[in-house]
Amino acid sequence: MIEFDQVSKVYGGRAAVDNVSLRFNEGAFTVLIGTSGSGKSTTLKMINRLVEHDSGRILLSGKPIRDYPLQALRRQMGYAIQSIGLFPHWTVAQNIATVPALLKWPKARIAARIDELLALLGLDPAQFRGRYPHELSGGQQQRVGVARALAADPAVLLMDEPFGALDPVTRAALQQEMRRIHQLLGRTIVLVTHDIDEALQLADHLVLMDNGRVVQQGTPLQLLTQPENAFVRDFFGRSELGVRLLSLRTVGEYLRPDERLSGEGVVAHLTLREALSHFVERQCDRLPVVTGEGEACGVLHFRDLLENMPEANRAPAP
């Protein structure tokens, strides 16, 4: 667990991070979101001491981060960032192997890990492992950056807008991959983004920052449905609130379990937003629902989807 206790960072007399107290729980996927210049990257970089905090305390597993040898601290933390490129004169494989090589993994293990990660991130190992960064597109470079951060299977993953340069399709695939990796490996992840939908989709714990301070933190659902002030409400967009709520709720929560309907079923763990596109595509107002194993388990009514969204309906007019 990583804990910030009244942490500040001052640049030229101005607080970039202003008396922030935060907890990044072990195994949690925390997303920092906020306006440009609100202190998100600075907060992230203070965790691995790329930026030193000026006051307050930052603890890792209960111990101040300054009490760890710097290299030992950094090796526990994978770091992926949009703008810090890969080492230009190293191949993709060498880039990914940076930390495993430092840790003196056997060569065969490193080679296997490189191929495993490339495949995981949708890059054909045979085609990509020997290329140099300038032979990759921006999005491919980003994926290699993410692979490098994951390489030594670090306990903590710090990611600063890691998917920024990707097209929506690749981006969605990588987001799903991150969620899967998170669920699979149970790593502590802190990710910075300014993409609201990305934040809502990925976060267990969402932290909204403005002007160096934490404005509100909680689950995505809490921030959407119980905004503490107008800034939070406006940030998440009043007009899009309904649709965003749909993406946080699943078909399983809204189906009528006693009903059955013939036809191709939608899976209960889909989000309501995904179900909505099925309604539109099929031009119907009821959908049969099936479990992950394909067994019928109820019916989703379009009407229920609207009626059970009181918060969305109550969203104040702009």
Give residues in contact with ligand ATP (CB under 6 A).
11, 16, 34, 36-42, 194
- Smallest distance, Å, CB 160 to ligand ATP? 7
Q: What residue has token string 């935060």?
A: 22
Of Mg ion, ligand ATP, none, which one does residue 263 interact with (CB within 5 to 8 Å by kind)? none
Of ligand ATP, Mg ion, none, which one does residue 140 interact with (CB within 5 to 8 Å by kind)? none
Of Mg ion, ligand ATP, none, which one does residue 216 interact with (CB within 5 to 8 Å by kind)? none
- Residue from 8, 41, 48, 142 in contact with Mg ion (CB under 5 A): 41
- Smallest distance, Å, CB 125 to Mg ion? 31
Of ligand ATP, Mg ion, none, which one does residue 87 interact with (CB within 5 to 8 Å by kind)? none
Q: Which residues are bridge partners to 17 per DSSP?
A: 9
Whole-angstrom distance, CA of residue 147 vs CA of residue 96: 6
C-beta closer to ligand ATP: residue 39 or 154: 39
Stretch that binds Mg ion, among 33-41, 45-53, 54-62, 234-242 (CB under 5 A): 33-41
Which residues have C-beta within 8 Å of that of residue 26, sequence separation ≥ 6? Answer: 1, 188
Nearest to 122 by CA among 165, 170, 184: 170
- Smallest distance, Å, CB 45 to Mg ion? 9
Of Mg ion, ligand ATP, none, which one does residue 186 interact with (CB within 5 to 8 Å by kind)? none
Whole-angstrom distance, CA of residue 238 vs CA of residue 65: 40
Whole-angstrom distance, CA of residue 201 vs CA of residue 69: 35
Whole-angstrom distance, CA of residue 229 vs CA of residue 305: 27
Q: How, if at all, do strands 77-81 and 266-267 pair?
A: unpaired
What residues make contact with Mg ion under the rule CB under 5 A?
41
